[in-house]
Amino acid sequence: GQQLNQSPQSMFIQEGEDVSMNCTSSSIFNTWLWYKQDPGEGPVLLIALYKAGELTSNGRLTAQFGITRKDSFLNISASIPSDVGIYFCAGQNKETSGSRLTFGEGTQLTVNP
Amino acid sequence: NAGVTQTPKFRILKIGQSMTLQCTQDMNHNYMYWYRQDPGMGLKLIYYSVGAGITDKGEVPNGYNVSRSTTEDFPLRLELAAPSQTSVYFCASSPMGHLTTNTGELFFGEGSRLTVL
């Protein structure tokens, strides 16, 4: 089946630093989604990308849909303590998998005040 | 704004016991999903449903069963609990299939933490 490789697995940063994480796949996706999961909660959507090359921002978050449709990255600028959590990428290809999403294994982010 | 509601939040089972994880959504979403999340791993799809009366297997369906008698409810049943089913289970719904939306977004419940001893 489709697989997503998400990196890094974990990051330990100081408050104020910028963060970058990415996902790559051997398969093409036509939608990329980035979710954040707070401890004890379900994942919540941060950014959705629908076109190859698309660059979308949501506050301090910026995500891009790779031109090859096989990768995506998420940047967080000027990190703050509440950015702590697990960040998941997810890809969707309606032609091959319908509505199902394929999730990366997550990036655990720790922000030290 | 209830969204997706899961019960129970926590449960401890003995090997061989059975139980049902309940999931209900009040957003009139056609699509519903059950995922499991193991430590350090991503979300693995167990079963999903594209509408009432329709269910289909995901990546890891063995040991589980589902039903979808109404749009709102999508219960997940474990018939013979095994230690390998110790995990956090998430139910999700999606507005996919509605004419007015193209989003792939999933809305998740808060999770049900299951331990099988």
Higher pLDDT, B42 or A24: A24
Q: Mean of the pLDDT values across residues A61-75?
A: 96
Per-residue pLDDT at B114: 97
Residues of B with CB under 8 A from a CB of A: 4, 31, 33, 35, 40-45, 48, 50, 58-59, 90, 92, 94, 96-97, 102-106, 108-111
Partner residues linked to A25 by β-bridges? A4
Q: Side chain identity at B48, as an amino acid letter? A: Y
* Cα A27 from Cα A45, distance rounded (Å): 22
CB nearest A100 (choices: B4, B45, B105):
B45
Per-residue pLDDT at A97: 77
Q: Mean of the pLDDT values across residues A4-18?
A: 95
CB contact under 8 A, A43 and B90: yes
Q: Model confidence over B12-33: pLDDT tens digits?
A: 999 999 999 999 999 999 899 9
CB contact under 8 A, A9 and B40: yes
User: Scanning every residue of chain B, which has its alpha carbon at the shortest distance from the alpha carbon of A107?
Assistant: B40
CB nearest A42 (choices: B45, B90, B94):
B90
Higher pLDDT, A113 or A1: A113
Higher pLDDT, A15 or B40: A15
Q: Side chain identity at A11, as an amino acid letter? A: M
Q: Is the pLDDT of residue B100 over 50?
A: no
Judging contacts by C-beta atoms under 8 Å, the chain B residues touching residue A106 are 40-42
Residues contacting B28, CB < 8 A, separation 6+: B71
Least reliable range by pLDDT among A91-105, B60-74, B93-107: B93-107
CB nearest B48 (choices: A6, A44, A100):
A100
Q: Is the pLDDT of residue B99 over 50?
A: no
Kindly report the number of other CB atoms within 10 A of residue A32's CB atom: 32
